[in-house]
Structure 1
Amino acid sequence: MNKLKYIISSVIVAASLTSCNDYLDINENPNSIHAENITPELILPGAMAQSYRAQAGDMMQFGNLMMNSWAGDVYHYGGLYPNEFSLSAVNSQFYDGIWDNIYQNVNNFVVIEKYPNGNHAQDKYVAMAKVMKAFYMQYIVDLYGNAPYTEAFKGQNNLAPKYDKDVDIYKSLITNLDEAVALIDLDDEAAVDPAGKDIIFGGDMAKWKAFAYTVKLRFLLRMSNVTGDLATYRNAQLSALSTASGMGTGLMTTDVIEKPGYSSSDNDKLNPFAFNYFYNTTPAEVQNHIVITSSEHLAIALNGNVEANTTAEYQKFNGVVDPRRFRLFTNVNYNGVQKVKGVRQGATSGQPGAPTDNQSVSKLAGGNLAGSGTFANAGQLLTLANARGGVVMSLAEIKLLLAEASLRYPALFTGGQTAFNAAISASATWLGVTAANTNNYLTLIAAKPGLGWTGTDAQKLEAIMTQKWLALTNVNPTEMYIEYNRTNLPYNPVAVNAVKPRRPYRLVYPNSEFATNSANVPNIGSDVVFTKNQYTPFWNQN
């Protein structure tokens, strides 16, 4: 990656957007189209599809490993995830693809924002672009802090953009969300209907408005711990959002799914989560599916602590078997018990936390790809996954945002236990769990502080974050990792071979910035990312 990330990504995505399958051809020649022919309707679907590809790639692995949901099959493969487990090399190469991919994709939304729109014809495209830019650019701030923004995305006019303060980027993105809502409300008669070019909501602008409100709530809850003038700003924005959204009733009420028309015709057109972590078009098992296992930490939670682990933080799970467990990871008969069998992060064969029977370990299961659909082989699973699309933002996350907002700001938002339970039901439904099993689980956790909606506000917040961890595993775990950094919840032990007491509060700027923007990139190394300091994202410095 080099400084061209600021200027060419829109051309790459738009190079072949003539049908819903064409924009999944990610290896086309970017010189085959003229810039003047790149219109918002050509850019939008590819920009959305490629943005999700980043979510389903590095961000999926990073978040699941950082949240101690995944481990590795240490019986057949050595040296798995050494940097993630030991935390000894959190440097400029550590998941640098997150930064590079997000900037490439956000650039495409900026191109749409800047497209000539004097007659309001592009209003709906601009509104969608503003929401998507805010959604993804938030991850840059939350994972890195200060970043190029006002001088970024200017093409050859500025190949070395300055770094803006993270708080200023946040405020600008929140303004973008308000601007998106204003454009939607304007509903100018000249505005082009995006219809099928919108691979998320099919041109339903009421849903885009609800999505904008939801993303804005996520921004403001991220700022839950700020003080002083920032708290005043946050509270004013929360009050305005409460009024506009009907105290939260106007938030999204469905999963936010992108469906570009995935198919099994070649690997580039497969659902990227399926391709990255399950099977290719052969269909053959990909390496990630071979080596990834459930972590012991997550298995204890899913199994109701049948392992009888005495660590205090696991006691809230005692006797509560999670019905989502075999939709997330495969069922193993271990010593006569049907369970998810995980591996302790950082353990090697023969150490505590590593099963003695090398066949008894749980791998990724197909719930996220198939839901309640049935499949007898890999090809059928891929067909279901392709038709299903990818989760940009889950309804479970949305409802848990509302539950937290009602807990922290009860005068502004309603939801409480209703939203909390709806989140769990939404997660279970997505994975294909029956309503009866979900309702039984809700009954079991009702009296479990830290797991169900009961006890003190602090215990309810712990329950929200515990359920968000479970719901976002294999869906959007990087979001949960950021929430963990904000709340220090839920319990998240480091690997047995970790050289640091906790995982990093932020990431190091990538090599691409030190190579091409050295005059501006802050020289931050791994020595500062494990403590709260001036380089930690602004909302997490208190």
Structure 2
Amino acid sequence: MQLSNFKKMKNKIIIMAVSATLFGSISCNDFLDVNVNPDKVDANFVTPNYAFPGAVTGSYAIQARNLNAFASLQMNSLAGNSYKFGTPFIDDYTPNITTGYNATIWDTLFRNVTNFQKIIDYNDPSGTYANYKAMSLVMKAYYVQILTDLYGDIPYSDAFKRELNVFPKYDKGEDIYKASIAELEQAIQIINSGAGSAPSSSDVVFGGVMTDWVAFANTIKLRYLLRMSNVTGDLATYRDQKLAGLSGASFSSSDVTVNPGYSSSSDSQQNPWANYWIVLSSGARPTTGNQGYTLYTVSEHMAIALNGNKVHLPLKATTQDSRDVYQKFNGITDGRRGRMFTLVSTTDDVGVTTSNVEGVRQGATPGQPGALSTTPARAVSVFGLGAILGNNNSITSTDVNTAFISAASSKDGVLLSKAETEFLLAEAALRYPANFTNAQGHFEDGIRASYNYFGVTPVSSDPNTDPSIYISKINSVPKLGWTGSNDNKIEAIMTQKWIALTTVNPEQSFFDYTRTGYPVTPMSSISPAGQVKPKRLMYPTSEYSSNSNNVPSMTAADVFAKNKFTPFWAR
């Protein structure tokens, strides 16, 4: 037997064994126990119902970890606990954006988008896997938007072909947007045609409910088009035509999540967010690399916002921060705060004890403003039960025990929260009232959805834990609630979305900030005077090494300026 034929036969044997498992008794946990390396097997032997779960879960893992950490620090939602770790995250705080900064995001997401493309290109003359191709088109568009928004122009039309094209050319961001929107529309057409077999447990997002995939595709399409709110000329005409086509469409009515059978059986089977930020399957806290339950705390910026502009100084009565950015929060305690982060009890100089979210100013070390020294050592807030478990209220303590580990490990991963969908619809109705309606209703429903996600239970001692009471208070406050000019309302949408997406999908708030300038987000205390936030990331070292003839040459300064390298919708 020739060597080439032997390899083919070997691959067939491997896939036949895998297929026997897939078409026999499938367990969700099987999707987390993949021992066959698809890079070693002919792609057409890996059926889409086998490939799709791994493509989704692999992509979500990098989103839940590296992308979440990057955006949480850039949006000043989280900070490093300088009481225990000196001055962590200097590159993030400065910020020092290089070809090595967060390069894992590019390297891993591109690899996983390639897996979606393999499903799309799968040789399926009978159309059996039509729905898997549609689902992969949606997921490809979902992650391509993140890559385009982070890096501007990227390889697209020549990309995702593995060995067939290892030197892909770069496409313009606006062309990628149009192509991705077309693929979302193609996915909807495939689903509506009724072609193909119905997915079941292999669909780790919706469990084979294809109408939910249509609503998800419409919502991602809306996100694309709203990102283009500032474009002009032909692009604006294109945007408006596509927005008109979404009038009356269905959108995601609940959180869009992924769960292939996450559990505490092993580290590899845990929800990757919990494994990275909270606890390992053994019950130990994660400590590898930038991981670490005690490394991260809430930032002073987020703490002030959640506390209603209450600042606790050691042995002094609670006071207010005088900076303009915090005045809209005056006296409005956010009812989500105790579920998002743990509360710390402090006693002032007249013996009054209060519980607040206690954070650290980004870049500050003990003894500096925002990280004042205390004796004993200052306590800071860490991730709360709502951030860890969502609206699961069966666990009442962050203390590590079997029930806590199990609940954290098995939690769904969030691709798109209902809160974000409602805020997208609120912005759409405010900007484009000819096509969308009820802007205020969607805005308020976004807040309610966020309260529900974090599992806030109304209690009489804190009226703000009732979302209706909180909403009634903020709606007399421009830039925080639904009042004032349209620009005030845009700032309110972005502010409430920033709070709602903290620890969930904070990268979307980073893109919103780049596009709108809201919510106003201070730089760290160690940023140079006049420093601004990056508008994109640099292409990674791997791209300059492997695709040097095509990757654009740019400098670190280009990251912070509006120029040809900036994502097209932010120029």
Q: What interval of TM-score do these two structures reach, taking the shorter chain for normalisation? A: over 0.9
**1:302 alignment partner in structure 2:** 306
Shift of residue 46, structure 1, vs aligned partner? 1.1
Corresponding position: 1:434 with 2:457: yes
Larger radius of gyration: 2
Shift of residue 337, structure 1, vs aligned partner? 2.1
Corresponding position: 1:324 with 2:336: yes
Percent of pairs with identical residues: 44
**2:502 alignment partner in structure 1:** 473
Q: Deviations over 1:13-42 (max 9, x none)?
A: x99976422332467655775544201101
TM-aligned CA distance change 1:157 to 1:430, over 3 Å:
same
Where 1:195 maps in the other structure, the secondary structure is: coil
| C-alpha RMSD of the superposition | 1.8
2:333 maps to a residue whose letter is V
Question: Are the counterparts in 2 of residues 334 and 341 from structure 1 also a CA contact under 8 Å?
Answer: no
Corresponding position: 1:507 with 2:537: yes
Mapped partners of 1:138, 1:22: distance in 2: 29
Question: Are the counterparts in 1 of residues 44 and 122 from structure 2 also a CA contact under 8 Å?
Answer: no
Mapped partners of 1:314, 1:171: distance in 2: 39
**1:286 alignment partner in structure 2:** 286
Question: Are the counterparts in 1 of residues 87 and 363 from structure 2 also a CA contact under 8 Å?
Answer: no
**2:475 alignment partner in structure 1:** 446
Q: Deviations over 1:357-394 (max 9, x none)?
A: 33321111121232242324423223223333100110
For normalisation by structure 2, the TM-score amounts to 0.88
Give the alignment of 1:139-538 within 5 angstroms: 139-188=146-195, 191-243=196-248, 245=249, 250-287=250-287, 288-307=292-311, 308-335=320-347, 336-357=353-374, 358-370=377-389, 371-375=391-395, 376=397, 377-378=399-400, 379-434=402-457, 437-499=466-528, 501-538=531-568
2:147 maps to a residue whose letter is I
Shift of residue 439, structure 1, vs aligned partner? 1.9
Q: Deviations over 1:54-82 (max 9, x none)?
A: 11110110010000001111112123001
Question: Which moved further from structure 2: 75-84 or 131-140?
Answer: 75-84
Mapped partners of 1:27, 1:362: distance in 2: 40
2:94 maps to a residue whose letter is S
Question: Are the counterparts in 2 of residues 425 and 438 from structure 1 also a CA contact under 8 Å?
Answer: yes
Question: Which moved further from structure 2: 152-161 or 141-150?
Answer: 152-161
Mapped partners of 1:452, 1:75: distance in 2: 35
Mapped partners of 1:274, 1:359: distance in 2: 25
2:306 maps to a residue whose letter is L
Where 1:509 maps in the other structure, the secondary structure is: coil
Question: Are the counterparts in 1 of residues 81 and 297 from structure 2 also a CA contact under 8 Å?
Answer: yes
Instruction: Specify every segment of 5 or more residues in structure 1 that has no aligned partner in the other structure, as ranges.
Output: 1-10
Question: Are the counterparts in 1 of residues 152 and 536 from structure 2 also a CA contact under 8 Å?
Answer: yes
**1:65 alignment partner in structure 2:** 73
Count of residues paired in the alignment: 521
TM-aligned CA distance change 1:37 to 1:118, over 3 Å:
closer
Shift of residue 489, structure 1, vs aligned partner? 0.2
Corresponding position: 1:114 with 2:116: no
Question: Are the counterparts in 2 of residues 220 and 238 from structure 1 also a CA contact under 8 Å?
Answer: yes
Instruction: Specify every segment of 5 or more residues in structure 2 that has no aligned partner in the other structure, as ranges.
Output: 1-14, 312-319, 348-352, 459-464
Question: Are the counterparts in 2 of residues 332 and 360 from structure 1 also a CA contact under 8 Å?
Answer: yes
Question: Are the counterparts in 1 of residues 72 and 502 from structure 2 also a CA contact under 8 Å?
Answer: yes
Mapped partners of 2:70, 2:416: distance in 1: 17
Where 1:102 maps in the other structure, the secondary structure is: helix
Mapped partners of 1:267, 1:508: distance in 2: 31
Where 1:289 maps in the other structure, the secondary structure is: coil
**2:3 alignment partner in structure 1:** none
Q: Deviations over 1:212-238 (max 9, x none)?
A: 100000000000000011101111111
Q: Deviations over 1:112-131 (max 9, x none)?
A: 11112333222111111110
2:109 maps to a residue whose letter is I
Mapped partners of 1:32, 1:517: distance in 2: 23
Question: Are the counterparts in 2 of residues 334 and 360 from structure 1 also a CA contact under 8 Å?
Answer: no
**1:55 alignment partner in structure 2:** 63
Q: Deviations over 1:467-487 (max 9, x none)?
A: 010000000111110111000
TM-aligned CA distance change 1:26 to 1:349, over 3 Å:
farther
Shift of residue 421, structure 1, vs aligned partner? 0.9
Where 2:297 maps in the other structure, the secondary structure is: strand
**2:569 alignment partner in structure 1:** 539
**1:5 alignment partner in structure 2:** none
Mapped partners of 2:174, 2:548: distance in 1: 22
